[in-house]
Amino acid sequence: VSKILDLVENASEKKSTSEHFITRFARYYTPCVVIAAALLFALPSLALALLDTNALPGFLTGTVWQDWLHRALIFLVISCPCALVISVPLSFFGGIGGASRCGILVKGGNYLEALAHTETVVFDKTGTLTRGTFTVTAIHPQEPYTEEQLLQSAALAEHWSDHPISLSLKAACRAPLDAARVTDVEELGGFGLTAQVDGHAVAVGNRRLMEKLDIQPAEPQKAGTVVYVAVDGVYAGCILLGDVVKEHAAQAIRSLKAEGIEKTVMLTGDADAAARQVASQLGVDEVHSQLLPADKVRQVERLLQERKDGRLLAFVGDGINDAPVLARADIGIAMGALGSDAAIEAADVVLMDDDPAKIALAMRISRRTLRIVYENIVFALAVKAVCLVLGAIGIANMWLAIGADVGVMVLAVLNATRALSAGKE
């Protein structure tokens, strides 16, 4: 767990976030309009006083510059950015609210904005595209072991673990599992575990564990998640597990393609054959298997290097092992129903019902929200630009100035409330 947390902290330091347009705009807009209003008042008044000596007494009494002061004040009222300051954040709040009604928790407006610019979506396999509930499909013991003996040894060694694979092995074993028969359990992250069962050294895990113990296992003919078992340093057989693909997983990949996602990638610590079988079934573009948590981070780093400028990468996962990758990706999406607390904490978006098809919906909500934001920005700036010119040349009065300020704000706010229904379309 400490290694996982260290990876999350290091990855979070590199993470980029998008900045709202209104923040960048206000940095230049506010001082510019204040200076423009001051110049609109000062320059014509001084020019009249300097060019026409007869106007000097009127300048001192205020009759000369009173008209230009009035125009400058109208200019300031018109230029007030209320419509932008209120409607832009409100549009994002509406989009977040609309997403939450659909079971999608977005942790901020910047993450909602980032979804609209996503180019690549990377998935974890187990628990994300598949249900993560394994069932034993085949047992291949080596002599002198029987299927029952091999399964019982593996289930006993896994007795104290709550990993989905461990739970499936214990559920498949019909013989009683006495915890007193198991001692010296040692879990090896990304490999499996070793334990003493009835005084015999039992190792249960993936092919990497067997290679680490200098044991050469046999390769099963069928594809699936393979659990290798060794007893006293000798290969005893393997157990084949099957994971069920989520009902809407294939539809999720197709929907992402329809939304313009250019590449879908699957990263998993599972065996290569099982990973490629799921990827082929779902239509995933690229698959990388037998990965440790640090390997997943490196793969995401590579994909980040390959992406186009301005386009973002999203990672979808559910387990504690996915937390570093969720933190490193431009936008992390976690499964909220069965996902680990670490994954939910590291993610920027949480799917409350674990349905991967909601990712495409989240992107549609994001793009519709951004359209509303851009509508408000263009509308507000266009109306204000016209009214500012009219105010500067003396055509606009204070009533028009108030309409250009408050009226535009009300219309922009009403348009922003459309974002609340973004998920219904």
Render 204-239 in DSSP notation, one character per residue.
EE-HHHHHHTT--PPPPSS-SEEEEEEETTEEEEEE
CA angle 106, 124, 322 (to 5 degrees): 70
The amino acid present at 84, given as its one-letter code, is L
pTM of the model: 0.75
Q: How many other CB atoms are there within 10 angstroms of residue 124's CB atom? A: 28
pLDDT at 131: 85
SS3 label, residue 289: coil
Rounded CA-CA distance 423/425 in Å is 6
According to DSSP, the β-strands at 312-317 and 286-288 are: unpaired
Identified catalytic residue from 124, 270, 322, 348: 124
Contact between 363 and 118 under an 8 Å Cβ cutoff? The reply is yes
In sequence order, what are the beta bridge partners of 204?
193, 229
Rounded CA-CA distance 206/50 in Å is 90
Query: 285 an active-site residue?
Result: no
Q: For residue 263, is it left (φ>0), alpha (ψ between -120 and 50) or beta?
A: beta
Per-residue pLDDT of the chain (425 residues; tens, 9 = 90+): 666 566 555 554 544 333 356 667 777 877 888 888 888 877 877 776 666 556 555 555 555 567 778 788 887 777 777 777 788 888 888 888 888 888 888 888 888 888 999 999 999 988 889 887 788 989 999 989 999 999 999 999 998 888 888 889 999 998 888 888 999 999 887 789 999 999 999 999 998 899 999 999 988 877 778 899 999 999 999 999 888 888 889 999 999 999 999 999 999 888 788 888 889 999 999 999 888 888 889 999 999 988 877 789 999 988 788 888 898 899 999 988 776 777 888 888 989 888 999 999 999 999 998 898 888 888 888 887 887 787 777 777 777 777 777 888 888 889 888 888 766 65
> With DSSP H G I counted as helix, E B as strand and the rest as coil, what are the percentages for the chain, rounded to 5?
55, 20, 25
pLDDT at 404: 75
Cis peptide before 176 (omega within 30 of 0): no
